[in-house]
Amino acid sequence: MNFWERMYLPAIAKGLGITIRHFFKKIPTVKYPEEQRPYSKNFRGLHSLKRDEEGRERCTACGLCALSCPAEAITMIAAERTKEEMHLYREEKYAAVYEINMLRCIFCGLCEEACPKEAIYLDGPHVTADYLRKDFIYGKDKLVEPVFDITKLNPEKTN
């Protein structure tokens, strides 16, 4: 090392230069709860059980999704539709219980592909954190998409 190098001061100045450059750099961090990065188009998130145009559940409880599931996360109990339930379910057979264990699910999307009725899609957000294992078994209350009622959107206009 020559005299300049042994003084360390040029090296220190160089180091200070590097840090001050970072000081004025644009910060890449996303402030998560306020800002969110957009999901990619083929992002697979939380499942939703779809309804048809008349608001009836599309699922017919054929069990193909459960069969195709590599993680064995889906269970269902089928039931037969009665006369009074015509407006609720599209097919004669429907899923009385439909549960997905979100701790087992690997979000591969095979259920989506297997479904012949276009009844299940992984189009939701992330599965949120929870405290108990039992709270990760999502039933129909969480999975079935809400009824889309156009009359309730803007009651004054439709009347």
By CB under 8 A, name the binding residues for other proteins.
Answer: 12, 15-16, 18-20, 22-23, 25, 27-29, 31
CA dist 95 and 79 (Å) reads 6
Are the beta carbons of 58 and 118 closer than 8 angstroms? yes
Q: Which is nearer to other proteins, 18 or 153 (CB)?
A: 18
CA dist 31 and 82 (Å) reads 51
Shortest Å, Cβ 53 to other proteins: 45
CA dist 101 and 98 (Å) reads 10
Token pair belonging to 86 = 């015509």
Are the beta carbons of 10 and 2 closer than 8 angstroms? no
Shortest Å, Cβ 131 to other proteins: 23
Q: Which is nearer to other proteins, 32 or 155 (CB)?
A: 32
Shortest Å, Cβ 98 to other proteins: 39
Shortest Å, Cβ 1 to other proteins: 14
Q: Which is nearer to other proteins, 13 or 132 (CB)?
A: 13
Name 19's Cβ contacts closer than 8 Å, sequence gap at least 6.
Answer: none
Q: Which is nearer to other proteins, 13 or 153 (CB)?
A: 13
